[in-house]
Amino acid sequence: MSANFSFWNMACQQLDRVAQRMNLDPSVHAKMRHCERALIVSVPIRMDDGKVKVFEGYRVQHNSERGPTKGGIRFHPGVTLDEVKALAMLMTWKCAVIGLPYGGAKGGVICDPAAMSLGEIERMTRRFTSEIAIIIGPAKDIPAPDVNTNPQTMAWMMDTYSMTVGYSVPGVVTGKPIEIGGSQGRGEATGRGVATVMIAAAERLGLLPAQSTVAIQGFGNVGSSAAKFLYGKGFKVVGVTDVGGGLFNPRGLDVPALLAHVQKSPHKQIKGFGGGEYVEGHDVANARLLALPVDILAPCALENQITAENAGAVQAKIIVEGANGPTSPEADEILAKAGTTIVPDILANAGGVTVSYFEWVQDLQANFWDEEDVNRSLDRLMMRSFHDVYDVAAREKCDLRMAAQILAISRVAKAATLRGIYP
C-alpha cells in the first residue's frame, strides 16, 4: 500500500462525488464529512516477559443520525486513525443501504497479533475495552469483529464491559460465541452475503454458477466463508491468496479440503495445502490473482488493493468487494471504462452487520432464533438491498457504487434533516 494513501481522503472524495450529483444540502454534507467522536486510547499491557508495552487504540463514531453506532474492531500493525475514521464512515453508509437502524463506527489497535501470545492478546483486548467503555454500550455504540478479531475477542470485550457495569450485557458487542448471546449464522454471515450478491450479479450478466470461475483475495472470515458458499453453488474457485502467499488451480480448488487445512494450520494459512500450485509472498501472489482470466474477482482482505497500477490487468467481468475499500477511485474509473461491474463494499459485505443487528435484537429481547430464520432473514435483506441499489443505478444511470451511496446518503440525509441540529 502506498505510504501517502489516505483512506479517509478517499472516503471523503467518494462522499463529495455523490453529494455533488445528488445536490446534497451543504450543511448535511458538511456534517457527514466529519466524525462525531474519535477517542484515542493508550493500552498498557504486561507482556509475558514481564515488561510493559503500550499499544495505541482508537474508537471512532462517524454518524448516529439513524441510531446507535456499529462497527468492527481491527487488530493490525497498519491501523491508523485515518483508516478507522474512513471505515467508520463506510459503516454509516453500509447500515443505511441495508436499512438497519444504526450509524457507523469502527475501532482498532495498532499491534501485530501474530507476534503476541493468547494471554497478551486477551490482556490487550480487556484493557482496550475498559478504555473505550465510556463511549460504547448497547444503546450507544456496539463493536463487532473485524480483521484479526473473532468471537473469542468479542467474549472478552463483553465480559470486561459487564464487569465494569456490574451485570451481564450481551448486547454491548456482536459476533460473540453462541453460548454467551451470539447469533446462529453470524460467523459465516459476511461470506454468505458476499456469495448471495455475487450470484445475483452473475445472473444479471447471464453467468451460470457451474460455468463461472472465481478468484478470492484473503482467506479469513470473509474470504473463506464466501469460498465455501460459492463452491457449494457450483462455482470453480481457481485462486486464493492470504498474507503468506497464494494457491492456484485452473481446474478449481477443493474448498472444503482447503478450509479443513487452514483450520488445522498454526497461523490459519493456506500454505502447505497440496491441491494447487503455491506461490510464496502475498505481493507476487496478489499480482497474479488480480490478473487471472476469471469471471469474478472477490477482494476479501484489506483496503486499497486494486489501484491505478494494477486495475488495467484485471480481466474479471465482476468484482464483488468482500473487503472494505479494496478499490481506489482511480481504479474505479479504469474498471468502469473496461466495462467491469463492481458490487461495492457497502452492499457486498453488509451480511455481517446485518446478522450482527439480528444478534443485538435477540440479545435485547433475550429471545433467540434458529439458524434457518437467521439465514432466511439475511438472504431477504441482502436481496432487497441488491435490487434497491440496481433500481437506483437504472434510474440515475450510474454505477453500483454511486447508486449504493446515493441510496445510503439520501437515507442518512433524511434522518439528519428530520432531527435537525442540537441545540
106, 176, 228, 236: which is the annotated catalytic residue?
106
Distance of CA 193 to the CA centre of its chain: 11
51 is catalytic: no
Q: Which amino acid is at 188?
A: E
Task: Please identify which residue in 63, 212, 217, 341 interacts with ligand NAD, judged by CB under 6 A.
Answer: 217
Report CA-CA distances (Å) from 419 to 68, 140, 188, 408: 14, 17, 36, 17
Block residue for cell numbers 441499489 = 389
Contact region with ligand NAD (CB under 6 A), list: 26-34, 120-128, 204-212, 320-328: 320-328
CA–CA separation, 382 and 349 (whole Å): 10
Binding flag, residue 349, ligand NAD (CB under 6 A): yes
| Least spacing, CB of residue 263 vs ligand NAD, in Å | 12
Q: What is the end-to-end Cα distance of the chain in Å, rounded?
A: 42
Query: What residues are paired with 54 via a beta bridge?
Result: 44
Count other C-beta atoms under 10 Å from residue 234's C-beta.
Answer: 12
Nearer to ligand NAD, 302 or 335 (CB): 302
Count other C-beta atoms under 10 Å from residue 375's C-beta.
Answer: 19
210 near 172, Cβ under 8 Å?
Answer: no
Binding flag, residue 245, ligand NAD (CB under 6 A): no
CA–CA separation, 358 and 303 (whole Å): 27
Contact region with ligand NAD (CB under 6 A), list: 5-13, 40-48, 300-308, 370-378: 300-308
Nearer to ligand NAD, 70 or 282 (CB): 282
Nearer to ligand NAD, 143 or 220 (CB): 220
Binding flag, residue 190, ligand NAD (CB under 6 A): yes
For the chain, give percent helix, strand, coil, nearest 5: 50, 20, 35
CA–CA separation, 170 and 179 (whole Å): 11
Binding-residue pattern over the window 256 to 285 for ligand NAD, x denoting contact by CB under 6 A: --------------------------x---
Nearer to ligand NAD, 55 or 75 (CB): 75
Binding flag, residue 300, ligand NAD (CB under 6 A): yes
Binding flag, residue 242, ligand NAD (CB under 6 A): yes
Q: Is 4 left (phi over 0), alpha (psi -120 to 50) or beta?
A: alpha
| Least spacing, CB of residue 110 vs ligand NAD, in Å | 15
CA–CA separation, 92 and 102 (whole Å): 7
For residue 359, the number of C-alpha atoms closer than 13 Å in the C-beta half-sphere is 33
Task: Please identify which residue in 63, 92, 125, 241 interacts with ligand NAD, judged by CB under 6 A.
Answer: 241
Binding flag, residue 125, ligand NAD (CB under 6 A): no
Nearer to ligand NAD, 221 or 405 (CB): 221
| Least spacing, CB of residue 317 vs ligand NAD, in Å | 22
Would you please indicate which residues are annotated as catalytic (active-site) residues? 106
Contacts with ligand NAD by CB under 6 A lie at 145-148, 190, 217-223, 241-243, 282, 286, 300-302, 322-324, 349, 352
